[in-house]
Amino acid sequence: MTAGSWTLGGDLEVARIGYGAMKLTGWPKGDPPGRETALGVLRRAVELGVNHIDTSHYYSRGGVAANELIREALHPYPDDLVIVTKVGALVEGPDLALSAERKNGLTPDGLRRGVEANLRSLGVDRLDVVNLRMGDLDRDEAPLAGPLETLLALREEGLIRHLGVSNVTAAEFAEARGIAPIACVQNLYNVSRRDDDALVDACAEAGIAYVPFFPVGGFAPVTAEHLDAVAARHGATVPQVALAWLLARSPNILLIPGTGSPAHLEENIAAGDLTLTEQDLAELG
């Protein structure tokens, strides 16, 4: 892969195209691949140079858990493999259906349970990066400071190497940086959803990785103008152009496209070899 690399947290060098494990379970909706296919996708990703996997203990549905698949496929883990996970208002996968009042993952106990669940299911003594996921409760009811301070204490215990934040506003990002060293921000961003333009640039200036979730649109495929024309010009797919646009957008952007399809995995990785021209970038805006 020729997309280059980024040093996450100042000491973890990762390829800029990683892999998101959510779709391996069909969480929160959708059909997961068969177990052997899922294990094969994970192993093939590493063979293709992926050394950054994004997951969470609450990616679990119908008895299929992303962390357990990762452990079965890849443990003992390669020395350079970085596994990034997240904790937040959800403690377990079924919490998604609970009312806001019943979600307790942002309490000190809930956060510790989430961290310990990730440690246990991945089979590690320390988590490389833990993202604090915000925005799943009313913003006024879910302040960032307390939960981040709890994670900072767990980091000081040696359970976490680096901290990140996810689904945050620009103000929350600034607040987080005043509390703890932040290695990465994981927010919604892609070629057709660019509300975070200023935050991408702020992260780049600070040397912090920006990791867009739904890089090719998630449950609603990207539909930006001229995508089809640019893809046709390169003999590429629209998702490949969307990924290449993100790589060109800023060097601190790390990609974690998720798929349960071996063929789509190969396509996603191949996007790292796609170089968009100045004309392409101008057309995409």
Torsion of CA 218, 167, 7, 12, to 10 degrees: -90
Give the span between the Cα atoms of 221 and 239, in whole angstroms.
8
Active-site option among 19, 58, 59, 77: 59
Give the distance between the most distant pair of CA atoms in the chain: 53
- Among residues 165, 163, 168, 166, the alpha carbon closest in space to that of 152 is found at 163
- Among residues 194, 193, 115, 104, the alpha carbon closest in space to that of 160 is found at 115
For 256-265, b/e burial (b = at least 16 CB within 10 A) is bbbbbeeebb
Q: At what angle do helices 227-234 and 238-249 cross, to 10 degrees?
A: 100
189 is catalytic: no
Q: Which residues are catalytic?
A: 59
